[in-house]
Structure 1
Amino acid sequence: MSDTISISVRTLVEHVFRSGSIDSRFRSPSTMLDGTRIHQMIQKTYGESDQKEVYLRTEVKAGELSFTIDGRCDGLLFRDEEVIIDEIKSFSHASEQIQQEGYPVHWAQAKLYALMYARDNDLQKITVQLTYVHVDTLEKIFFKERYNITELEVFLENVMEDYSPYANLLSSHRKKRNASCKELTFPFETYREGQRKLAGVIYKSIFDKKNLFAKAPTGIGKTISTLFPSVKAIGEGHLDKVFYLTAKTITRTAAEDAFKKMRSCGLCLSTVTITAKDKVCFKEETNCQKDYCEFANGYYDRINDAILDILSNETSMNREVIEIYAKKHTVCPFEFSIDLAYAVDSIICDYNYVFDPRVSLKRLLEEQKKSTALLVDEAHNLVDRGREMFSSSLNKDVFLQLKKEFKGVNKSLFDAASKLNAWFLSLKKENPDKQEFTLEHLDGELIDSLVQFVEISEQALPIEASPTLLEEYFIVNNFLKIKEFLDEHYVIYVEKVKNDLIVKLFCMDPSKLLHQMGKGYRSKIFFSATLSPINFYQDLLGGQKDDYALSIPSPFSSDQVDVYIHPLSTRFRDREQTKESIAAGIQSLIKKRPGNYFIFFPSYQYLLAVYEQFKQQDEVTKTIIQAAGMTETEREAFLDAFKPNQTETLLGFAVLGGIFSEGVDLIGDRLNGVVVIGVGLPQLCFERNLIKDHFNQQNKNGYDYAYVYPGMNKVLQAGGRLIRSEEDHGTIVLIDDRFLQRRYQQLLPPEWQRFTVGSL
């Protein structure tokens, strides 16, 4: 790797000069749009000979490292004999709050541009101007300073002196990292069957700059099979950064363990795990205000030292490690992990940090994306998560609540909330007999009222301490943002829930936006044990025609599992009549084959009905039930009950598609069997029917897309809990007559195809 480091002016000065506190009491998300508008407005006032958005670049040596620093200055003005670098900044607070001479970080940015231009044009003196413009009043404040080139050269030396410890640390680490990645051998004695092929195709996909959709069966060792070739690609210079994206805590732990295993074999590579803000916050209430939280107060004054400290001493920055250093340096652990994400080699985090337009890591530059791979674990989950990320809704009730809250307190807010509440009421009156209905387009009056609500809220929020207003402000902003995505992949629908009315922008097909949000990355690897049928997932995850696809057969023998299909109806209308037979079937199973079993149900209500029936017939067998909203401690206790070498039978009643049907490893005889009740179809509902109709119109099988494929995915995930190694043996019982229909049977894995029909 070259010792020349490329860095933008903005990144450099923000690292050296950032200071102050985190304060999310109120921060307008329209700031960037305001900034663009203000820049364009000022640039239109420039003279004919003036220039805007001028690209500048310079090189500098600091110790053993060479730097290429570049960026675009807002304006280059020519006034008589004077050359002026103009740096434009927008602001929304009171003008008295601007420091007497402007902000140091802004001066630093402008001075570096001035030095670059002066160097290129042999100028001995140059003028720097800061132009501050208020976003609402358009009030302008100017600061001007004239510098000679020697002053600017000394300034750059001082900036580089402050930045060098961080740069030296990263440069030294990357040399060790690249050498260790190159030398690393596969961290196990042998590859499992299919594992070498998966790893090889992943490396080729990264090398060829292609995306890959891989169906990799349970037990193959997917985590190490995806991370190892990615690490090797770093060693060969094809990658600089890897994201391991997953929806579940347990799979994040698997990724951390895989890196730990590779480190024990000599790998030197830094990783950070991003944990959700609410989970990692040190305070009782997640309230990022400097006067409430000492970890937010002065965060930017201390963060550089915290980053240097942790990077100098740690390579695995999981939640526990981040918390230790966050307490040591008194910095917010969540923001600390986000800042570390830009410095480390691999990030383990939720899908939303890449795909969700509201929370993605936006500081990852396009140039960095070109050397970054995305490893999307349990990729089947991204379909519904994508729908969720790209949809948005508004509730009438909240505007009624705000109307009451600000009556006689703030007339502008009262009027804005009243107007929106009235719009919902008129919609309700126009459709008196409909519980759910679609709208062809969004009413212009609604949009105007929402924009007005946002503008009034922005003025009120710095003064009004209203959690409801703050929350609704962000909800409305998100709604307006999602509105911009509306196209043939969306439907606008209205739903009545008791006295409330909900308007939803529903993304039926997330493929286009998932593709858009993943654009620019060198390679995206979508993998799962249940990425089946693979063309369905390619279609909905934004796959392209030239993407690679791979399906690895199971490494396990069909002799390891006995599969039974018990053809009872579990359809909603038949559940009351068949619950006694299901309970009797479970009793018969454990009598003939005692052991530890998971019993999976399509709904919690159905689970309770069968459970009560079972307990009436069998008061002796030990049972545990998945409860709603279980804490991590309760989940662990549930799984810990499945002990090896148990002498008595244990039945764990759980929900299909829930926390125990994915990512759970109960090796050996901790689990002896799995019973799956029903084909897992999502409940018939208005939203799912909209999805069905949408894909029918595209000449695809809408019922399969909306119901069958998502349902059977849950069945396969649940059954996949059983055989986790070459030594495992067990029983799978599928209870539903539809498992004998071709539509469902062809979705069963090959090792389940040798089944016996009938109860045990």
Structure 2
Amino acid sequence: MEEQQRNREVKISVRNLVEFLLRSGDLDSRFTGRDRMSEGAQLHRKLQKAYGSSYKAEVALKETRTVGGIAFTVIGRADGIITEEDKTTVDEIKSVTQPLDEVDEDFAPVHWAQARCYACMVAAQNGLTEITVRLTYVHADTEEVKTLDRVYTQEELETFFNDLLLSYHSWAEFSASWAELRDMSIKALSFPFAYYRRGQRELAAGVYKALRDEKRLFAQAPTGIGKTMSTVFPAVKAMGEGLTTKIFYLTAKTVTRQVAQEAFERLRENGLRFKTVTLTAKEKICFQDTPACTPETCPYAKGHYNRVNAALRELLEENDAITRETVEAYARKHTVCPFELSLDLSMWVDAVICDYNYAFDPRVYLKRFFAQENQIPDCVFLVDEAHNLVDRAREMFSAELKKSSFTQVKTALKKSAPRLKKRLNAVCKVFLELKEECGEERPSLVKNTQSEELCAALEHFLSECELWLKEHGKEHEQYDALLQLFFDSLGYLHTAELFDERYVFITDCAGHDVRARLFCVDPSMLLNNALNRARGAALFSATLTPLQYFKNILGGREEDYILKLSSPFDQRNMHLLLCGGISTKYRHRDESYGRIAEVIKAVIGGRAGNYMVFFPSYLYLQRVYDEFKALCPEVDTLIQQSGMTEPEREEFLLRFDAQNSETLVGFSVMGGVFSEGVDLKGDRLIGSIIVGVGLPQVSTEQDIIMNFFNQENGMGFEYAYMYPGMNKVLQAAGRVIRSEADRGVVVLIDERFAHNEYLRLFPGHWSGCLLVKSPTQIEKSVREFWNECVDTTNSETL
């Protein structure tokens, strides 16, 4: 009974309540101006201070009422309560970009609804029979103010508030009933396999402990442990115990989202009742050739809000596993936007499977979850393939602009828009000044301070551009170009607000063009802030080596947990050879091409089958490929091409057939699409040859990272080059042994692998590595390994 009572409580914010129930009309994402949330907050504070002592600002409100057997806890925050001798006024402040003479009593019914809810709560808590509701509209640019007042009796407000809760009751009843069913199924849920693999129980326990203790777990879990189920299962169990209300399974790639979907489906087959939705990028799921969310151009946008709640309810009642295909089917049936439908679904399901950026990217993260009033403080993050988050974070927290983008638009405007062209000229002038500062001999200039002049020029450009975009429709030939430039500039300025000692400002000069970059060198603090949006988190990968580095760079705190697990597979199934007599350093590469070709020939000479060779660059790949084809013209080969399409990638992988009677050698790039996330089990891949230690290409960015961390902790080379490089090596090596039955060969080609600083990065199951120096020795060793495998197989059969 106590459990049932807990599930019959529904907590919702005033804003979510009124916006969900009262939304109607078209979906229209055409340009209306900037998202001025931070500017609006500043205007709010300015107005609040101006009222004086009678004005109480940012008043937290909470009201619990039982309607139809459900205890609704409604929370909110009134912008202000004005207490005078003869009356009390609840003030709701809204910043707008429309001229204030267009703002009248009927401008936004949802604003009145929100304010009336606050007024009802204030009146009930203070025994007021009458209260004034005020909407204060402030213009974001001019700071002009317009107020609208209405007086309500407590009885009127009570009726309105209770009617809202009655309207929401069926949704709340659905949610509460589902939660009861879900939690009962979780309590009865057992691990979906007959036994835990080695390390799997330990990982599951580590994840549960982190979520329970509100910590973060950084786990290195080698291939084969079953990372997805080992993280999903304890997170689901934590939900059943009331430790979380939402699971976010965050990934970098589509293939890992599919694996997560399969894990939840496996648990459903084992009795779990659990709703999940997989979010797909707007550009991919949009039904139109070009995403344009306006009622004039898209039938799914016209009247979207009139139909979306019906689509949402039907979809939720009929489905637990909500994939992209499911969303698209119901969106077509109800003629609503599939992307917006999927976002609405995310509020109602138990788990959201999505890309990293929905939780971490400051420009696109899910504000409906993580923005103050709507924040869910007890959600949890499961971050798959977390080694990818380092580079993705630097990308998400960085920004850049090019002078040529402004010049092209300015030229295309010709003689029109003189005020806008003046602002474009001012931006271009700053770029030219940056180029002069860079000098003739220096292609790049790195500084610890950003260009305030550029930020100021961009602010002026945005103000003028905003006016131009509002005045001109999409039919203007420069509309799209200016709209893109507007958002690029706005994104740059938002990043500029984050600029601190963890950033550098880079000026790049190439020919006549100039590029200004805000480069996030150390994303750890910003990732820590993002991870604070969750109660707890598990960040896991097969290649978090070394763990302390990843814990530091990914926003770990001193109190957070780390876990390093051994491979669950028999160490004897992988034959690891270190070919230490060859240098792949850039200055020695010309001498290495033929020798590497001979090593490949020796490896494949041990047994016919499918092999992959991984290189640090396409140029290196091509040089060795030419040598190998001259040496072994009869061997079937494949080459990874730059910029391969999805069908081309699939065709490439399909060639790795376990039934191949002849040897196939695929030439690929380390860190590319075929070196991680590829699952070629059994005889589809029996050998991986890795050329070099995977160091990132020397660049301005990598050197900046190196210099930064040399000053921070004296480990600049490790943070910038060695650790990221070794991560690529481990990923490439991990393509070979994918299951308990797999057997294969991994060959490391580079003399540096034999040095202590690299040997200490080897995972535990690499301890049997053999040092070989000649092709003859390699072929003999490989042949002996395969012969032993045959003997072992026969013994097992007997």
TM range (shorter): over 0.9
Residue 239 of structure 1 aligns to which amino acid in structure 2? T
- Aligned runs of 1:654-669 on 2, under 5 Å? 654-669=668-683
Q: 1:696 to 1:303 in 2, by over 3 A?
A: same
Q: Give the CA deviation at 1:105.
A: 0.6
Tell me what 1:678 maps to. Answer: 692
Alpha-carbon separation, structure 2, partners of 1:259 and 1:413: 53
- Aligned runs of 1:500-515 on 2, under 5 Å? 500-515=513-528
Decide whether the 8 Å contact of 2:331 with 2:337 is kept in 1. Answer: yes
Alpha-carbon separation, structure 2, partners of 1:47 and 1:703: 57
Q: 1:675 to 1:315 in 2, by over 3 A?
A: same
Decide whether the 8 Å contact of 1:102 with 1:130 is kept in 2. Answer: no
User: Which residue, 242, 252, 276 being the options, matches 1:247?
Assistant: 252
Tell me what 1:606 maps to. Answer: 620
- Aligned runs of 1:107-118 on 2, under 5 Å? 107-118=112-123
Q: Give the CA deviation at 1:402.
A: 2.3
User: Which residue, 485, 500, 505 being the options, matches 1:492?
Assistant: 505
Q: Give the CA deviation at 1:30.
A: 4.1
Decide whether the 8 Å contact of 2:48 with 2:55 is kept in 1. Answer: no
Secondary structure of the residue aligned to 2:363 is coil
User: Which residue, 707, 710, 713 being the options, matches 1:699?
Assistant: 713
Q: 1:425 to 1:50 in 2, by over 3 A?
A: closer
Tell me what 1:387 maps to. Answer: 394
Tell me what 2:461 maps to. Answer: 453
Alpha-carbon separation, structure 1, partners of 2:376 and 2:154: 36
Q: Give the CA deviation at 1:629.
A: 2.4
Q: 1:27 to 1:705 in 2, by over 3 A?
A: farther
Secondary structure of the residue aligned to 1:462 is helix
Secondary structure of the residue aligned to 1:683 is coil
- Aligned runs of 1:463-502 on 2, under 5 Å? 463-464=471-472, 465=474, 466-502=479-515
Decide whether the 8 Å contact of 1:101 with 1:143 is kept in 2. Answer: no
Tell me what 1:522 maps to. Answer: 535
Alpha-carbon separation, structure 2, partners of 1:112 and 1:167: 18
Q: 1:63 to 1:633 in 2, by over 3 A?
A: farther
Residue 754 of structure 2 aligns to which amino acid in structure 1? L
Q: Give the CA deviation at 1:741.
A: 1.8
Tell me what 1:554 maps to. Answer: 567
Decide whether the 8 Å contact of 2:32 with 2:470 is kept in 1. Answer: no
Decide whether the 8 Å contact of 2:450 with 2:504 is kept in 1. Answer: no
Q: Give the CA deviation at 1:57.
A: 2.8
Q: Give the CA deviation at 1:565.
A: 2.1
Alpha-carbon separation, structure 2, partners of 1:126 and 1:560: 77
Task: Select between 47-56 and 179-188 the one with higher mean Cα deviation.
Answer: 47-56
Secondary structure of the residue aligned to 2:471 is coil
Q: Report Cα offsets for 1:365-402 as digits up to 9, x if no partner.
A: 56854321111111111111111111111211112112
Secondary structure of the residue aligned to 1:654 is strand
- Aligned runs of 1:587-736 on 2, under 5 Å? 587-736=601-750
- Aligned runs of 1:40-119 on 2, under 5 Å? 40-46=45-51, 48-78=53-83, 81-95=86-100, 97-98=102-103, 100-119=105-124
Q: Give the CA deviation at 1:474.
A: 1.6
* TM-score, with length taken from structure 2: 0.92
Task: Select between 646-655 and 94-103 the one with higher mean Cα deviation.
Answer: 94-103
Decide whether the 8 Å contact of 2:33 with 2:97 is kept in 1. Answer: no
Residue 586 of structure 1 aligns to which amino acid in structure 2? I
Alpha-carbon separation, structure 2, partners of 1:442 and 1:592: 58
Q: Give the CA deviation at 1:428.
A: 1.8
Q: 1:45 to 1:743 in 2, by over 3 A?
A: closer
Task: Select between 673-682 and 697-706 the one with higher mean Cα deviation.
Answer: 697-706
Q: Give the CA deviation at 1:149.
A: 2.8
Tell me what 1:280 maps to. Answer: 285
User: Which residue, 349, 352, 360 being the options, matches 1:347?
Assistant: 352
Decide whether the 8 Å contact of 1:124 with 1:148 is kept in 2. Answer: yes
Decide whether the 8 Å contact of 1:216 with 1:551 is kept in 2. Answer: yes
- Aligned runs of 1:396-435 on 2, under 5 Å? 396-430=403-437, 431-435=439-443
Residue 276 of structure 1 aligns to which amino acid in structure 2? A
Residue 442 of structure 1 aligns to which amino acid in structure 2? Q
Tell me what 2:794 maps to. Answer: none
Residue 496 of structure 1 aligns to which amino acid in structure 2? C
Alpha-carbon separation, structure 1, partners of 2:176 and 2:644: 44
Q: Give the CA deviation at 1:250.
A: 0.9
Decide whether the 8 Å contact of 1:403 with 1:415 is kept in 2. Answer: no
Alpha-carbon separation, structure 2, partners of 1:101 and 1:438: 53
- Aligned runs of 1:181-260 on 2, under 5 Å? 181-260=186-265
Q: Report Cα offsets for 1:608-659 as digits up to 9, x if no partner.
A: 2322333333333222222222333322222222222321222222211111
Q: Report Cα offsets for 1:400-449 as digits up to 9, x if no partner.
A: 11221233111121111111112212322341110112134233322221
The percentage of counterpart residues that share the same residue type is: 45
Secondary structure of the residue aligned to 1:364 is helix
Task: Select between 130-139 and 110-119 the one with higher mean Cα deviation.
Answer: 130-139
Q: Give the CA deviation at 1:320.
A: 1.1
User: Which residue, 528, 533, 540 being the options, matches 2:553?
Assistant: 540
| Structure 1: unaligned runs, 5 residues or longer | none
Secondary structure of the residue aligned to 1:711 is helix
| Structure 2: unaligned runs, 5 residues or longer | 779-798
Tell me what 2:162 maps to. Answer: 157
| Alignment length (residue pairs) | 760
Q: Give the CA deviation at 1:721.
A: 0.8
Alpha-carbon separation, structure 1, partners of 2:96 and 2:503: 36
Secondary structure of the residue aligned to 2:470 is coil
Alpha-carbon separation, structure 2, partners of 1:122 and 1:206: 42
Q: Report Cα offsets for 1:462-504 as digits up to 9, x if no partner.
A: 2344222222222222222222222221111211223211111
Residue 334 of structure 2 aligns to which amino acid in structure 1? H
Residue 622 of structure 1 aligns to which amino acid in structure 2? D
Q: Give the CA deviation at 1:97.
A: 4.5
Secondary structure of the residue aligned to 1:348 is strand
Residue 277 of structure 2 aligns to which amino acid in structure 1? V
Tell me what 1:333 maps to. Answer: 338
Decide whether the 8 Å contact of 2:295 with 2:303 is kept in 1. Answer: yes
Task: Select between 20-29 and 103-112 the one with higher mean Cα deviation.
Answer: 20-29
Decide whether the 8 Å contact of 1:92 with 1:135 is kept in 2. Answer: yes
Decide whether the 8 Å contact of 2:54 with 2:84 is kept in 1. Answer: no
Q: Give the CA deviation at 1:96.
A: 5.4
Decide whether the 8 Å contact of 1:406 with 1:413 is kept in 2. Answer: no
Secondary structure of the residue aligned to 2:256 is helix
Q: Report Cα offsets for 1:191-217 as digits up to 9, x if no partner.
A: 111111111111111122221111111
Q: 1:396 to 1:109 in 2, by over 3 A?
A: same
Task: Report the aligned-residue RMSD.
Answer: 1.9
Residue 279 of structure 1 aligns to which amino acid in structure 2? K
Q: 1:261 to 1:627 in 2, by over 3 A?
A: same
Decide whether the 8 Å contact of 2:62 with 2:73 is kept in 1. Answer: yes
Alpha-carbon separation, structure 1, partners of 2:445 and 2:284: 38
Q: Report Cα offsets for 1:294-329 as digits up to 9, x if no partner.
A: 222332222222221111111111111111111112
Secondary structure of the residue aligned to 1:165 is helix
Alpha-carbon separation, structure 2, partners of 1:347 and 1:155: 34
Q: Report Cα offsets for 1:43-63 as digits up to 9, x if no partner.
A: 344364343333333232222
Task: Select between 253-262 and 315-324 the one with higher mean Cα deviation.
Answer: 315-324
Tell me what 2:303 maps to. Answer: 298
